[in-house]
Structure 1
């Protein structure tokens, strides 16, 4: 019995001697944005639970924190007997990530929405990029089909490449709907020039609503919380109540004011008022990076995820699907197959946006 106890204790110390840690460094939006950072952290936490490893998050309060926080995270990983991985979240961390990664070649680094500044990607770095324009196309088409005023809005945060790709896709979704249905839905565009100021988002949303917009798609991080709040206030003022059944009854007959979420499924934030969400699999990417590093299946370089790779998608519209016609949903499903097959290519640059022409599309129904 004594020998068995000694053996068990010995095995415990052997197992505990090996540890692997995943550390996420947020951008300035931080945890609680109900969007980009929260989605990435959810994937890392899920990996931690599945693999039985420790996870940690380090908050960045300003851009000046990026290098010091990534350095601190890398130093923490070096203390682990079995190593680990550091996540840098957001395009704004690009320079900091590659600067710090070069100083710690024995530490795995992963970037979400971070493209390498040169073609040479260090062997300890993996970059996850997304075809945001493809999920944004879906909600753009939905917005154009659903608007009662003929005017929809886009509010971006800082106009960095991922945000702009959301805008390109949204614009093309509206354009394709207009071209296929002979409509002239307009888009009002604006930027908060921040990601962590809900008040700026709310103020800009109220301005767009006052200008005749009835649906706003945001790609603005935590600023979007204010945009959703603005839509809710406007809708409740029309309806007089905020329970879901009353809102949906009113909206079905009269329309109203709606927001469209981003990055993760934000429909729950204001049921019946968040029409849909343009999602990208930041949680999937963060989960995979941890898993690949832990299991020794590391694949450095760029991994670009779109509809075909199930890396972007639209929310299932749990509360609002009844506000969209069956014809529109069927059309959208067909358009998704065209995108996956490369027949309908959604622009990812300003130049391709300007030159885009809607191809001849005949729905098989």
Structure 2
């Protein structure tokens, strides 16, 4: 009987180990789809890098509507996916609700903070990267007027806007920043036609550099900027290649690294808040062959100087989300 119990115990342990080994990570993309050439696609690239390096597999889901958030999370948790990574602040409320129902599942959210013992929250200091873009925009602008086009009008995107304005006005105090948002609902992330219209309107008001922080909508902004003969600035992923020589730079959020790290940690993901900033190379401005003709040695020096001062604390980029204000207003 004792031997039988030992055998059963061993079999159970082996079964549990096999189950653990089979646990796949999962990635849920926000509205706009995984090939949005921006935020979601950066997450996808991180997952694919992990897959190529490890030979592992992962589950994925693309959001089609707001109503699917809770259903998608629960479905993946029920299938045993672990960890489950989700892109976008809009998952915050739903995750806070369901995380306690699956205490053995690790959840990783990008762009929001959810205080649960089984959740890792990844936040980016987009304002710091946007500050660097503002410095470049000020040095590249001939008119002294630049533009910012945000997606959904929410504090997170004002964080991009505020950092950009701070960097621009620190470099060109008498300059002007035109500001537009494409909407107040999630549809604002996926309206390239409206993005293009806003870019043309800003150009007509004198803007010769336009920064788009608008997800899929930003593709329309960058296209219109290129068509109109003004410079664009991309966001989240390196978008310089979309219009070589016509995109000044891209403010890159290393969302790919956040996903890659989470998948690599697996069920060992550490709960709590993980911050990605200039000092950790979590945010940066993209420099490559596509925008090299636009970047002068003076620009490179100015960006490197600003990066060092931000990292040391000498330049403090205000985080709009701390108090919903921007000091340059």
Q: Give TM-score scaled by structure 2 length.
A: 0.89
Asked if residue 321 in structure 1 is aligned to residue 292 in structure 2, the reply is yes
Q: Judging changes above 3 Å, is the alpha-carbon distance between structure 1 residues 21 and 177 closer, same or farther for their aligned structure 2 residues?
A: same
Q: After superposition, give the CA deviation of every residue in 1:85-107 in whole Å (9 maximum; x if it has no partner).
A: 11111011111122121211111
Counterpart secondary structure, 2:65 = coil
Are the equivalent residues in 2 in contact too, given 1:196–1:221 (CA < 8 A)?
A: yes
Counterpart secondary structure, 1:157 = strand
Counterpart secondary structure, 1:57 = strand
Q: Distance in 1 between matches of 2:122 and 2:193?
A: 30
Are the equivalent residues in 2 in contact too, given 1:131–1:304 (CA < 8 A)?
A: yes
Q: Distance in 2 between matches of 1:126 and 1:149?
A: 44
Q: Which residue of 1 aligns with 2:154?
A: 160
Q: Distance in 1 between matches of 2:274 and 2:155?
A: 16
Are the equivalent residues in 1 in contact too, given 2:43–2:259 (CA < 8 A)?
A: yes
What is the aligned counterpart of 1:335 among 306, 310, 315? Answer: 306
Superposed displacement of residue 352, structure 1:
8.2
Q: Which residue of 2 aligns with 1:73?
A: 76
Are the equivalent residues in 1 in contact too, given 2:24–2:83 (CA < 8 A)?
A: yes
Aligned ranges for residues 209-228 of structure 1 at < 5 Å? Answer: 209-228=203-222
Q: Distance in 1 between matches of 2:20 and 2:120?
A: 27
Counterpart secondary structure, 2:274 = strand
Asked if residue 300 in structure 1 is aligned to residue 271 in structure 2, the reply is yes
Q: Distance in 2 between matches of 1:223 and 1:302?
A: 29
Q: Give TM-score scaled by structure 1 length.
A: 0.80
What is the aligned counterpart of 1:191 among 160, 181, 187? Answer: 181
Asked if residue 286 in structure 1 is aligned to residue 259 in structure 2, the reply is yes
Superposed displacement of residue 53, structure 1:
2.0
Are the equivalent residues in 1 in contact too, given 2:153–2:182 (CA < 8 A)?
A: no
Superposed displacement of residue 49, structure 1:
2.6
Q: Tell me the number of residue pairs that the alignment of Structure 1 and Structure 2 aligns.
A: 309
Aligned ranges for residues 180-259 of structure 1 at < 5 Å? Answer: 184-193=174-183, 194-235=188-229, 257-259=230-232
Q: Judging changes above 3 Å, is the alpha-carbon distance between structure 1 residues 140 and 289 closer, same or farther for their aligned structure 2 residues?
A: same
Q: After superposition, give the CA deviation of every residue in 1:128-185 in whole Å (9 maximum; x if it has no partner).
A: 0000001101111100111112110000001233312111110001111024xxxx22
Are the equivalent residues in 2 in contact too, given 1:217–1:259 (CA < 8 A)?
A: yes
Asked if residue 57 in structure 1 is aligned to residue 57 in structure 2, the reply is no
Superposed displacement of residue 232, structure 1:
2.1
Q: Distance in 2 between matches of 1:17 and 1:262?
A: 37
Are the equivalent residues in 2 in contact too, given 1:45–1:55 (CA < 8 A)?
A: no
Q: Distance in 1 between matches of 2:153 and 2:233?
A: 18
Q: Judging changes above 3 Å, is the alpha-carbon distance between structure 1 residues 319 and 49 closer, same or farther for their aligned structure 2 residues?
A: closer
Superposed displacement of residue 207, structure 1:
1.2
Are the equivalent residues in 2 in contact too, given 1:20–1:54 (CA < 8 A)?
A: no
Q: Which residue of 2 aligns with 1:268?
A: 241
Structure 1: tracts of 5 or more residues without a match: 1-13, 236-256, 358-365
Q: Which residue of 2 aligns with 1:3?
A: none
Q: Which residue of 2 aligns with 1:28?
A: 31
Structure 2: tracts of 5 or more residues without a match: 1-16
Q: Which residue of 2 aligns with 1:48?
A: 51
Q: Which residue of 2 aligns with 1:172?
A: 166
Q: Distance in 1 between matches of 2:87 and 2:294?
A: 35
Superposed displacement of residue 305, structure 1:
0.8
Q: Which residue of 2 aligns with 1:86?
A: 84
Superposed displacement of residue 125, structure 1:
0.7
Superposed displacement of residue 356, structure 1:
5.9
